[in-house]
Chain A
C-alpha cells in the first residue's frame, strides 16, 4: 500500500476562559469510516490476529519517529562523502544502513546546491517520508500548501521566511506515486570542524521538506 493514510487534522476550536485552547467534544454519530475502523480492529482482536497491546505498540512506533531521524541522515551525508554518494544514488538503502527502514516505499534524496533548491509536496494527498520525519505538519496536508507550492513556490518560500539568491532554479517534487522524498540541504558555512551530532542539531524539519534552510551556526 504505497500511499500514506490520511490523518484528521487537529484544529483548536475555541479558547477557554482561562486561556487554554480546546477542541469541541465529539458528540456526534460515528462516520462510516470510523465504524469501519472499529469493526475491523475488534474483529482482528476477536479472531486473535492482533492484540490490543500490539495495536498500541504500533501507534507508539509511529509516534516515535521524528525529524531527528532525517537530521541524523543529513548530518552523516555532510561529514561522509561516500555516504552522501550512496544516499543520492539510493536513499532507501542508505537510510536502511543507518537503521531507518522505509518499508516497501522507495526514498529519493534531493540535493540542494548553489544552483538548485528542491521542495517536496504531495498534491494528491499527504505522502511524506514518515520514517525519517515523523508525522507531517498540518500545513503540509492543507489544500493551500498543496495547490500553491506547485504554482508559486517562490511566494510560498518567502512566506516561510526563505529568500533564495537570484538565478537559483527551484525544483518542486510532487510525490504522486511510489517514491518518497527528502531534501538534503546544503551544509551551513562555518561548520568545518563540527561533529556529526552538532551538525544534526542544525537540520530542521522544514529544511528537509525544502521550505526552510538549516539553522546558522551560532
Chain B
C-alpha cells in the first residue's frame, strides 16, 4: 500500500515551495528524494535544518473535484516533510 499523506493547510508568509492549490489535498508518496535544506529559511540565508523531500502524487479528482478535466489524470509535486501529515 502506498503511503497516504495530506498537505497541511497552513498559510505562512515567505519563500514557501508548497503550492496553495495543493494545500489540504491528499495524495500518495510516489518516491522519497532524500534530505534538502528547508527553502523557507535557506532563501533568507538563515541557518537551516534538512528536511525530507518527497514526491506526492495527487489525482486530478482530489485537487479539482467535479471540475477535474479527467479525474484519473495525476499531478506530482515535491513537498517537504514538515508540510505533510499522515492520513489514517
**A contact set with B: CB distance below 8 Å:** 2-3, 106, 123-124, 150-155, 169-179
Looking at the assembled complex, report how far the CB atom of B73 sits from the nearest CB atom of chain A, in whole angstroms.
Answer: 4
Given A177-B53, A179-B33, decide whether A172 and B79 contact each other with a Cβ distance below 8 A. Answer: no
| Complex interface: chain B residues within 8 A of A124 (CB) | 17, 19
Looking at the assembled complex, report how far the CB atom of A78 sits from the nearest CB atom of chain B, in whole angstroms.
Answer: 24
> Considering the chains assembled together, what is the distance between the CA atoms of A171 and B72 in angstroms?
9
Judged by a CB distance under 8 angstroms, whether B69 is at the interface is: yes
Does the CB pair A106–B33 fall under 8 Å?
A: yes
Judged by a CB distance under 8 angstroms, whether B87 is at the interface is: no
Judged by a CB distance under 8 angstroms, whether B9 is at the interface is: no
Partner among A3, A152, A172 whose Cβ is within 8 Å of the Cβ of B76: A172
> Considering the chains assembled together, what is the distance between the CA atoms of A59 and B29 in angstroms?
38
Looking at the assembled complex, report how far the CB atom of B10 sits from the nearest CB atom of chain A, in whole angstroms.
Answer: 16
- Number of residues of chain B lying within 8 A (CB) of chain A: 24
Partner among A173, A174, A177 whose Cβ is within 8 Å of the Cβ of B39: A177
| Complex interface: chain B residues within 8 A of A150 (CB) | 21, 63, 75
Does the CB pair A171–B70 fall under 8 Å?
A: no
| Interface hub of A2, A155, A176, A178 (most chain B Cβ within 10 A) | A176
Does the CB pair A175–B78 fall under 8 Å?
A: yes
Contacting A at CB under 8 A, from B39-82, are 39, 53, 55, 57, 63-64, 67, 69-70, 72-80
> Considering the chains assembled together, what is the distance between the CA atoms of A172 and B53 in angstroms?
18
Looking at the assembled complex, report how far the CB atom of A11 sits from the nearest CB atom of chain B, in whole angstroms.
Answer: 26
Looking at the assembled complex, report how far the CB atom of A165 sits from the nearest CB atom of chain B, in whole angstroms.
Answer: 13
Does the CB pair A151–B64 fall under 8 Å?
A: yes
Partner among B53, B70, B76 whose Cβ is within 8 Å of the Cβ of A174: B76
Q: In this complex, what residue of A is CB-closest to B54?
A: A177
- For the A-B complex with A174-B77, A176-B79 known, give 18 more contacts whose Cβ atoms are closer than 8 Å: A124-B17, A150-B63, A150-B75, A151-B69, A153-B73, A155-B69, A169-B72, A170-B70, A170-B74, A171-B73, A171-B76, A172-B76, A173-B75, A174-B75, A177-B17, A177-B39, A179-B55, A179-B78
Does the CB pair B19–A174 fall under 8 Å?
A: yes
